Amino acid sequence: MTYSVSGLSVVGVIGAGIMGAGIAQVLAASGFQTVLYDTRPEALAKAQADIHARLDRLAEKGQMGAQDAAHAKSRLRIASDLADLAPAGLVIEAIVENLEVKQALFRQLEEVVPETAVLASNTSSLSIAAIGRACRHRQRICGMHFFNPVPLMKLVEVIAGPATRPEVMQLATDLVGRMGKVAVVAKDGPGFLVNLGGRAFYTEALHIEAEGVASPEQIDRIMTAGCGFRMGPFALMDLTGIDVNFPVTGFIHQGHQYDPRLKTAPRHERMFEAGLYGRKVGRGFYDYS
Ligand code: NAD
């Protein structure tokens, strides 16, 4: 098998949530037959409707040709059976951030796709080595870590596990380029580069709030109006989803031997426990109802 992006026609995406839907949209718009799979039919229906609406909006605004948008829509297929990913030369997993669940999925996936298919995880904080441990063919496992919102964010971290072949890394990097994005190779450690280096953006803000120095609104305003960030930490946590951001923070803290610099504040956990996940449920640090 030659790992060449020009030989890649079908790409699979698993998980039709915030990230999977964004990745599938960009793949379909970049010319790939895209198969999007999820265990929840309602997630698939929502993802398809959202992707179509976003492509239509791009066409209306003149940021994409109407025909290109129509072609992108026709290249996207939703699938409620994992076996529908069989023709994919590369599959990107974007399901819940839980090692056991991801390992079980990769095990199942290996039964479906050929031995040559590349399997990538969009994990934010789990190690590619640990995900690959569940696999029989570890040389084809890598990380492809996209950022939210995927259609807008240029960066993708590409991560090798201990057994990943260089050709697999090259294919992942070339695919990122074909998607109009910029690949940066990062080491396989908890949080890779961006989520480790950027963790303090959230944790410091949470500690400042816990100490009563400033409210989420004030901190977000300072970070946007004063420091030039597009979004403040609380608005960004609501966008990411506290169901994602809180466990990710915990895995990175644990993975770095409980380094106190990476510790979050108790309110983060309370929000997670209460199901106040942010925009996706209508309430997080802010009210979206
Ligand atoms: P999400 O909750 O929006 O979507 C996850 C989807 O996965 C859901 O639709 C769910 O039904 C589906 N799913 C769960 N288990 C499944 C299984 N076994 N098989 C098939 N589908 C399954 O989550 P998200 O925010 O899109 O995050 C997905 C992944 O991307 C996580 O690993 C997360 O850490 C990572 N990530 C998230 C962000 C972000 O900002 N949200 C950014 C970068 C990376």
135, 153, 186 - which closes a domain? 186
Dist. CA 190–CA 99, nearest whole Å: 12
* Omega before residue 149 within 30° of 0, cis: yes
36 lines ligand 1 (CB under 6 A): no
195 counts as catalytic: yes
When pLDDT is cut at 50, 70 and 90, the band that residue 20 belongs to is very high
pLDDT above 80 (res 176): yes
Residue 286 lies in a domain: no
Nearest CA to ligand 1 atom 1: 17
pLDDT above 90 (res 85): yes
Q: Do residues 263 and 234 lie in contact, with contact meaning Cβ atoms separated by under 8 Å?
A: no
pTM: predicted TM-score of the whole model, two decimal places:
0.94
Q: Are both 230 and 120 inside the same structural domain?
A: no
Nearest to 24 by CA among 48, 4, 53: 48
**Which residues does 164 contact at the CB level (< 8 Å), separation at least 6?**
128, 132, 138, 139, 140, 141, 142
Q: Are both 236 and 267 inside the same structural domain?
A: yes
Q: Which listed residue (93, 97, 110, 124) is catalytic?
A: 124
Q: Are both 159 and 211 inside the same structural domain?
A: no
pLDDT digits (tens, 9 = 90+) for 195-217: 999 999 999 999 999 999 999 99
97 lines ligand 1 (CB under 6 A): yes
pLDDT digits (tens, 9 = 90+) for 108-143: 999 999 999 999 999 999 999 999 999 999 999 999
Q: Are both 139 and 237 inside the same structural domain?
A: no
124 counts as catalytic: yes
Q: Are both 24 and 123 inside the same structural domain?
A: yes
Q: Are both 175 and 52 inside the same structural domain?
A: yes
pLDDT above 80 (res 221): yes
130 lines ligand 1 (CB under 6 A): no
When pLDDT is cut at 50, 70 and 90, the band that residue 3 belongs to is confident
Residue 94 lies in a domain: yes
Q: Are both 135 and 231 inside the same structural domain?
A: no
Q: Are both 49 and 149 inside the same structural domain?
A: yes
List the CATH number of the domain containing 236: 1.10.1040.50
Question: In the chain, pLDDT over 70 holds for what percent of residues?
Answer: 99
Residue 122 lies in a domain: yes
Find the distance separating the first CA and the last CA of the chain, reported in whole Å.
51
**Which residues does 262 contact at the CB level (< 8 Å), separation at least 6?**
196, 199, 203, 249, 252, 253, 256
Residue 141 lies in a domain: yes
* Mean pLDDT of the region 33-61: 98
39 lines ligand 1 (CB under 6 A): yes
Q: Do residues 78 and 84 lie in contact, with contact meaning Cβ atoms separated by under 8 Å?
A: no
85 lines ligand 1 (CB under 6 A): no
95 lines ligand 1 (CB under 6 A): yes
Question: In the chain, pLDDT over 90 holds for what percent of residues?
Answer: 98
128, 163, 186 - which closes a domain? 186
Closest ligand 1 atom, residue 148 Cα: 40
List the CATH number of the domain containing 140: 3.40.50.720
Q: Are both 37 and 103 inside the same structural domain?
A: yes
Q: Are both 132 and 161 inside the same structural domain?
A: yes
> Would you list the DSSP string of 222-288?
IIIIIT--SS-HHHHHHHH-HHHHHHHHHHHHHHTTT-GGG---HHHHHHHHTT--BGGGTBSSSB-
157, 186, 215 - which closes a domain? 186
Q: Are both 98 and 181 inside the same structural domain?
A: yes
Residue 104 lies in a domain: yes
107 lines ligand 1 (CB under 6 A): no
Q: Are both 26 and 61 inside the same structural domain?
A: yes
157 counts as catalytic: yes
Closest ligand 1 atom, residue 47 Cα: 9
Of the residues 244, 249, 251, which should be mutated to test ligand 1's pocket, given the most ligand atoms within 8 Å of the CB?
244
Q: Which listed residue (93, 157, 245, 253) is catalytic?
A: 157
Residue 16 lies in a domain: yes
pLDDT digits (tens, 9 = 90+) for 94-113: 999 999 999 999 999 999 99
Q: Please tell me the total count of domains within the chain.
A: 2
Average pLDDT, the chain: 97
Residue 155 lies in a domain: yes
Residue span of the structural domain in which 208 resides? 198-281
Residue 192 lies in a domain: no
pLDDT above 80 (res 1): no
